[in-house]
Amino acid sequence: MPKKPGVYVIALRSERICRLEGESDILYIGSTKDKRGLKNRFSHYRNPGKSQTTNKKINKFIKRKPNVTILWKITRKEDARKEEEKLLNEYFNEHGELPPLNDSNPRGMNKNSD
């Protein structure tokens, strides 16, 4: 896992789940612009802090269903959030809802974009 900023997707390896519209293997879409990068971000999923509810949710899911894969794309620090928003909007436009482990209203989410 690189120590660079980027965007990432946590997905099921060999399974799809029903969504409002269609099916998907994507569980979560996120980004990090931290200077310690993606590697540091994923260490938070393995060892979530007491107040990190999303990290706890992802950690719990992965422990119950370890057949997940993580895809990532290295970006410039200033582009990480924009790339995440783009992926979330594409997912929402295709499925009518966000990935199951994403918050219901993430920062910058524009549910009307194409």
Q: Nearest 5°: CA angle at 69, between 78 and 55?
A: 60
pLDDT confidence band for 103 (50 / 70 / 90): confident
Please provide the average confidence, as pLDDT, over all residues in the chain.
Answer: 85
Reference 42, options 27, 30, 26; nearest CA is 30
Q: What pLDDT does 107 receive?
A: 56
Q: How confident is the model over 13-48, as pLDDT tens digits?
A: 989 999 999 999 999 999 998 878 888 887 777 777
Residues forming beta bridges with residue 74, ordered by sequence position = 6
Does the structure show a pLDDT above 90 at 57? no
